[in-house]
Amino acid sequence: MAEIVVHKLYEEKERQYIIDAYENFGKKTARKWKEELMKIQNFLKKYPEGKPPFLGAPKFSYLLRGANFMRNFKLVYYYDESLDVVHIVDIWDMRQNPKRFSVSKYK
């Protein structure tokens, strides 16, 4: 089973999206966000390469992968096979312009 490492950028975005979901749509939506993200993390522990590569992502030292959730969002991660570690780095709002996606913040 792979270990999960959560990066600071992801933690900040997760917290902000859940707060926004709670304030705008209520407790049930915020709970659904948490449940969806936990489901993805549990899946990645067992199958770290189970989600497809993030097509259109700029070049990065590892292959970025993405897990879609809540219709419009993608959990961005990469898998370090040598250490058996999944690095969860970002939540991407797929409604944004893909040209704005930058990996420089992951280093």
Which residues have a Cβ under 8 Å from the Cβ of 88 and sit 6 or more positions away? 4, 5, 6, 7, 10, 41, 44, 75, 76, 77
pLDDT value at 96 more than 90: no
What integer pLDDT is reported at residue 20 of this predicted model? 96
Domain of residue 82, residue span: 3-106
Q: What is the DSSP string of 18-35?
A: HHHHHHHH-HHHHHHHHH
- Helix (H) or strand (E) holding 44, with range, is helix 27-46
Q: How many domains does the chain have?
A: 1
Span 2-55, pLDDT tens digits? 999 999 999 999 999 999 999 999 999 999 999 999 999 999 999 999 999 987
Its pTM stands at 0.88
Q: What is the DSSP string of 67-84?
A: EEETTTEEEEEEEETTTT
How does residue 104 score in pLDDT terms, banded at 50, 70 and 90?
Answer: low
| CATH code of the domain covering residue 84 | 3.30.2310.20
